[in-house]
Amino acid sequence: MKKTLLFILVITQISFVAAQSLEITGDTIFFGDPNIQIEHHLDVKNISANSIDVVCQKTNITLPLGLLSFQGSNYCFAGACYPASATSPSASATLAPGQDITYANSDLDAHSGYYNGGGIYGIATVEYCFYDENNPSDQTCVTITYDCSQSTAIDEYPSLNEMSDFYPNPAGGLTHFTYNGEGSAQLIIIDILGNEVKEIIITEAGVKKLDLSDMTKGIYFGNLVVNSEVVSIKKLIVK
């Protein structure tokens, strides 16, 4: 009985240590033109019973090739703004227990994120981590995806040797697409890091099924290859 109580006490303590004090909300996927700046906002809430000095730190995970040092992602937080090249922690914003800071409420300390594609098509992924300045291990991170690829438009009527968007999308377990081509093709599924995760051989036109049961949650891209050339790219979200 004593051993059982000790085990429960240890588990409770571990859970308490691992608990996060910050809740971050806001959209995380954005589509746009690389010639037009994308703006977005993240709301930060202190869900603990103590005041916290919150800092933000940005990390670029992937960026399109060719971006200059002043292009890409930049942000504002705690009343200060940081360029695309900034990777150090931001200034701190003090949040009382239960307090949140949001752009919608015109809070001066609120987070605002920006992405400048510099006219370069591609997909960028950026991580924002918010944490207690006095306890960096107490952090909450979100990954933002900026999709400024050329193939974000919806194709209701796919042209020759192309494919429709995946449907349903987001999807879990199974999705479909329509191949409108004359002959064989390959559908190569890659993740946001460019790693190939699945390859499907297509032998004729028509509606095709795609089994997602062996794929983890995340963002992927279906590359339709005909005669060794990528002729169409479609985004797929696995939930």
Residue type, 186: Q
Between strands 38-46 and 93-95, the pairing is unpaired
Q: Which residues of the chain does CATH 2.60.40.3880 include?
A: 23-148
Q: What are phi and psi of 18, to 5 degrees?
A: -80, -15
Mean per-residue pLDDT for 55-61? 94
Q: Is the pLDDT of residue 77 over 90?
A: yes
Q: Which residues of the chain does CATH 2.60.40.3080 include?
A: 162-238
Place of tokens 């006219």: 119
Full DSSP string of 167-228: BSSSBSSEEEEEEE-SS-EEEEEEETTS-EEEEEEE-SSEEEEEE-TTS-SEEEEEEEEETT
Check residue 188 and give its pLDDT. Answer: 92
May I ask the CATH architecture of the domain 23-148?
Sandwich (2.60)
**What value, to the nearest 5°, has the Cα angle with vertex 148 and ends 147 and 150?**
115
Q: What are phi and psi of 204, to 5 degrees?
A: -160, 165
CA nearest neighbour of 43 among 60, 28, 23, 59:
23
pLDDT grade for 13, boundaries at 50, 70 and 90: very low
Q: Is the pLDDT of residue 94 over 90?
A: yes
In this predicted model, what pLDDT tens digit does every residue of 121-176 receive, in sequence order? 889 999 999 999 999 999 999 999 999 886 444 343 344 557 888 888 888 888 88
Check residue 89 and give its pLDDT. Answer: 95
CB-CB contact of 200 with 117 (8 Å): no
pLDDT grade for 19, boundaries at 50, 70 and 90: low
163 Cα distance to chain centroid = 24
Give the separation between CA 139 and CA 72, rounded to whole angstroms: 24
Give the separation between CA 126 and CA 75, rounded to whole angstroms: 11
The overall longest dimension of the chain from CA atoms, in Å, is 73
Burial classification of residue 192, based on how many CB atoms lie within 10 Å of its CB (0-12 exposed, 13-18 middle, 19 or more buried): middle
Q: 162-238: what fold?
A: Immunoglobulin-like (2.60.40)
Q: 31-35, 100-104, 194-198, 226-230: which range is least confident on average?
A: 226-230
Q: Under 8 Å CB-to-CB from 222, ≥6 apart: which residues?
A: 163, 166, 177, 187, 188, 189, 210, 233, 234, 235, 236
Mean pLDDT over each residue of the chain, to the nearest integer: 83
Q: Is the pLDDT of residue 178 over 90?
A: no
The rounded percent of the chain whose pLDDT value lies above 90 is 42
